[in-house]
Amino acid sequence: MNIEVISSKVFVPSPGSGVGVMGGSYYTTAAGLELVSVHSHTSRSDTVEVAYLRRSEDNGRSWSEAEEWSMRFEDSGGMGRRHVRGGYVDPPTGRYIQVWTEGVLPTDDPLEGMRQWKLHYAVSEDGGRTRTVEEQIICEGESFDAEHPLPGVTVGKNCVMIGDLGQVPLTRSDGTILMPVQSTPIGPDGEYYNPGAGYTYTDCLLLVGRWAEDGRLSWSCSERVCGDPERTSRGLVEPTIAELADGRLLMVMRGSNDARHELPGYKWMALSADGGQTWGGVEPWTYADGEAFFSPSACSQLIPWADGRLLWAGNISAANPLGNRPRYPLVVGEVDRASGLLIRESVQAVDDRQADDDEMLTLSNFYARDDRETGELLLHYPRLFARGYEAQERWTTDLSLTRVAIS
């Protein structure tokens, strides 16, 4: 596989000092060139202040005026916060689905979300212009409600959430929609449990949606995919999924060595042979030749390609990372559809630290998709902290759009 960076331009500029922009653009119909751009402003880690939606009828050549979507809301229990994510078109129905994280933080500390986050979804029949469904994701069954939405999740004790933009749903041949998410575990005392002593700790799982006659999604969930806290100090984070040639599902997950730098920093993988209900053992994700590679604690994305190939975008480190760092270079490679492993010789850098970039440069928090007209790979991401993490204006960052030719 060969890649060539065609261009890299500002997609959404920062509105001012101290504000970073994150987001992406998403097709809203199963065919055609209609897009919605969803971007958000941030000035604090793991916090979104406001989000904006724009529409394009011509594949992104022109955009409508931005519509504001508030990411804060008043609540007697504290500060209400949302984390918006992009949309997904369900191919069999053409319905446009959007899922986001929401919760009330008692003192507005982002870490309080580990006990408070829950998930909401919306369904649109007209490409996201109007919503026919908008509600919290709650599993079917009398034992589940708004405060106990999933097995093993109780709001106020632990949470379920989407971590980053690469957690894209997948529709199976039977019409079932699989949504990769993460959830904090419950310990013996019935409270959020962090056995790895890292910044946070989560397991991964799939939400399983099936269409009901009224246009809603009926939800269930898979078993949890759990890491070993002796091998990854933050558990497993930000799962991305894809189907392999034999029908098995591959899940690739972020790990961390933030609390124990002597541990190797890897991406982790698991396989399912029953449509995502149960999962095999969790192991380091390696090259197809069996050799492990280092990767920082950062998001990644599996990208099914139109010609049947499976691509992956993420960060690979030359040496063992220290927790989240370094989050460069940003690379793209091909995944072997038979084994689910990364083909070493296919991996190529799309962006990397430049001479005037600080070592804290972050080439992460990205969303990747294809361009239906050109066949190019589009990567939306901010070049965060290029001026350094201690700089007064460290968050001041545009959202960039990089076009990559795949051959």
DSSP output for 349-385: EEE---TTS-TT-B--S-EEEE-TTT--EEEEEE-BT
**Token digits for 141?**
């069954």
Distance CA 252, CA 246 (A): 17
Banded model confidence at residue 131, pLDDT cuts 50, 70, 90: very high
Which residues are within 8 A (CB) of 214 and not within 5 positions of it... i.e. 6 or more apart? none
Banded model confidence at residue 390, pLDDT cuts 50, 70, 90: confident
| CA trace torsion 280, 199, 300, 321 (10° rounding) | -100
| CA trace torsion 222, 205, 309, 164 (10° rounding) | 150
Distance CA 344, CA 8 (A): 25
344, 205, 201, 173: which is closest to 270 by C-alpha? Answer: 205
Q: What is the pLDDT of residues 155-188, one digit of tens each?
A: 999 999 999 999 999 999 999 999 999 999 999 9
C-alpha angle 205-377-267 in degrees, rounded to nearest 5: 35
**Token digits for 278?**
């149960």
Q: What is the pTM assigned to this prediction?
A: 0.98
Helix (H) or strand (E) run with residue 38 in it: strand 35-42
Distance CA 80, CA 108 (A): 8
One-letter amino acid for residue 180 of the chain = P
For residue 392, pLDDT beyond 70: no
Q: What is the pLDDT of residues 229-243, one digit of tens each?
A: 999 999 999 999 999
Q: Which domains does the chain have, with CATH numbers?
A: 3-406 (2.120.10.10)
Beta bridge partners of residue 203, listed in sequence order = 183
Banded model confidence at residue 389, pLDDT cuts 50, 70, 90: confident
Q: What is the pLDDT of residues 191-215, one digit of tens each?
A: 999 999 999 999 999 999 999 999 9
62, 81, 79, 61: which is closest to 71 by C-alpha? Answer: 81
Distance CA 48, CA 52 (A): 11
For residue 261, pLDDT beyond 90: yes
DSSP state of 114: H
Q: What is the pLDDT of residues 72-86, one digit of tens each?
A: 999 999 999 999 988
Distance CA 173, CA 164 (A): 26
Which pLDDT value is given to residue 19?
Answer: 95
Q: How many CA atoms lie within 13 A of 188 on its CB side?
A: 1
Strand ranges for 194-266 from DSSP E: 203-211, 217-221, 237-243, 249-254
Q: What is the pLDDT of residues 269-284, one digit of tens each?
A: 999 999 999 999 999 9
